[in-house]
Amino acid sequence: MISKINEIKKEVAKVVIGQEKMIDGLLIGLLCEGHVLIEGVPGLAKTTTVKALSQSLGLDFKRVQFTPDLLPSDILGAQIYDPKTNEFKIKHGPVFTNLLLADEINRAPAKVQSALLEVMQERQVTIGEESFKLSPPFFVMATQNPVEQEGVYQLPEAQLDRFMLKLDVGYNTKEEELEIARRISSGLNEQINTVISHEDLIELKEAVKAIHIDAEVEEYMISLVEASRNPSAYGLEDIAEYIQFGASPRVSIDMFKAVKAMAFLRGKDFVTPVDVAYIIKEIMHHRLVLTYEAEAEGITTDSLIDKIVKIVPIP
């Protein structure tokens, strides 16, 4: 089954150079049916990666560019009056798809974010008095630009908690950027082929669910979550003043799913603490709420997670 994953990565690599961790994160979200938030400055191939992934999977893909004047009906759909029949008809919005790219989601006002929240959590859309279930798979990949200050609405904690992973995308290496520039300037655009079917995707998801986790590793993951809520109980009194709210129960659920997918991507049929360490920041750092003292002193969630991982005993 891992050969199917390698085929997907090979197709995406035709248009995306580097960014392996972002690609792995998107695959984990897809295999675990979780949503992914991607943050990075413009030009780091966030949108290109998502589009290439959808093409390699052969899934329906739609993109919404979020702006401050966007309305919920722009993404969900609306009731349209037809004067010929004297009736209202339902026009479906772009959320009726398999892979939805919400570009610059932090530009959307609160009403749009609330509408998207129902779709992400319930996998259904309510238009007027009717509710419509979305056809699986349904996967939201949202991007946000950390540079912009004007016309930006910070995502509330409740919505951030709906994202299984938050991927922070950095710049490519010098060698990778050289290859990118050569490809683009030469006009080399390779065709991305669909390499797996819908049935293959279902098999991949079932294979991920079958990955084994020892009871000791399960307890270790719960201890990591608990340490973010009650640092003093784990000898982390020095960071207790910096965490206002620790990780939610969704973190535990998502961690159990994500580490299985991480082990699967690494070609293993069981989970080790290494898999946990590789993905824990992406699962947890957007779900910790820091105190004013932490922000004033420049303390980051990643640095706090590093301390938690260092202190909690590894099985």
- Residue range 35-44: mean pLDDT, rounded: 83
d(CA 103, CA 8): 23
**pLDDT above 70: residue 107:** yes
Where residue 219 falls among pLDDT bands split at 50, 70, 90?
Answer: very high
Residues ≥6 apart with Cβ < 8 Å to 149? none
- C-alpha 213, offset from chain centre: 23
The distance in angstroms from the start CA to the end CA of the chain is 29
Nearest to 251 by CA among 269, 268, 273, 229: 229
**pLDDT above 60: residue 126:** yes
Task: For 57-74, write each residue's pLDDT tens digit.
Answer: 888 889 898 888 888 888
260's torsion region: left (phi>0), alpha (psi -120 to 50) or beta? alpha
Task: For 9-35, write each residue's pLDDT tens digit.
Answer: 888 888 888 888 888 899 999 999 889
**Average pLDDT score, the chain:** 86
Pairing mode, if any, of strands 99-103 and 289-290?
unpaired
d(CA 72, CA 108): 10
Q: What is the pTM of this model?
A: 0.87
Domain boundaries, the chain: 2-199, 211-311
Pairing mode, if any, of strands 163-168 and 289-290?
unpaired
**pLDDT above 80: residue 193:** yes
d(CA 156, CA 261): 27
Q: What is the CATH number of domain 2-199?
A: 3.40.50.300
Task: For 131-161, write each residue's pLDDT tens digit.
Answer: 888 888 888 988 887 765 555 667 777 778 8
Q: What is the CATH number of domain 211-311?
A: 1.10.8.80
- Residue range 97-126: mean pLDDT, rounded: 85
Q: What pLDDT does residue 220 have?
A: 93
